[in-house]
């Protein structure tokens, strides 16, 4: 176990079971606690709650709608967001969520972990893109 994310709570919203499982195992291996959900309804319930998260990794297209309402609720609470999707409109994400990163799914583990770490340190999406750390 690496331990670099020990004490971090990560929210993962992903409807593909095996991707959710892989991401959960990856972040837990680094010491994070993970809450994983597979629908917009579940994401909205969590986003409207009071549980603190260090960061959220969000798939865009879910069985019951796009994740954007949950992303808005999370960002209003100050929770950093990373979009992880194979079908996202990156220009829409950049316009609606300038502080977020949009990574193509499946993103390499190192890129995804670096993105979460940057979000927790307060590096916004524009800064991260400027230094070439995010692929869209």
Which CA distances in Å does 65 have to 15, 59, 61, 92?
11, 11, 6, 16
Architecture of domain 9-129: 3-Layer(aba) Sandwich (3.40)
Taking the C-alpha atoms of residue 23 and residue 56, their distance in angstroms, rounded to an integer, is: 12
Residue 106: cis peptide before it, omega within 30 degrees of 0: yes
Q: What's the confidence (pLDDT) of residue 121? A: 65
pLDDT at 11 over 90: yes
Structural domain spans, the chain:
9-129
Other beta carbons within 10 angstroms of residue 31's beta carbon come to 14
Mean pLDDT of the region 95-116: 89
pLDDT at 77 over 80: yes
């Amino acid at each position: 176990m690496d331990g670099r994310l020990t004490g971090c709570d990560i929210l993962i919203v992903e409807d593909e079971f095996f991707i959710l499982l892989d991401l959960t195992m990856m972040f837990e291996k680094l010491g994070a606690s993970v809450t994983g959900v597979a629908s917009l309804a579940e994401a909205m319930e969590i986003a409207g709650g009071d549980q603190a998260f260090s960061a959220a990794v969000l798939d865009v297209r879910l069985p019951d709608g796009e994740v954007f309402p949950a992303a808005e609720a999370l960002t209003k609470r100050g929770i950093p967001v990373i979009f992880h999707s194979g079908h996202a409109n990156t220009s829409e994400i950049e316009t609606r969520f300038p502080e977020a990163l949009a990574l193509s799914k499946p993103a390499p583990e190192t890129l995804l972990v670096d993105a979460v770490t940057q979000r927790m340190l307060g590096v916004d999406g524009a800064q991260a893109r400027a230094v070439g750390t995010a692929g869209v």
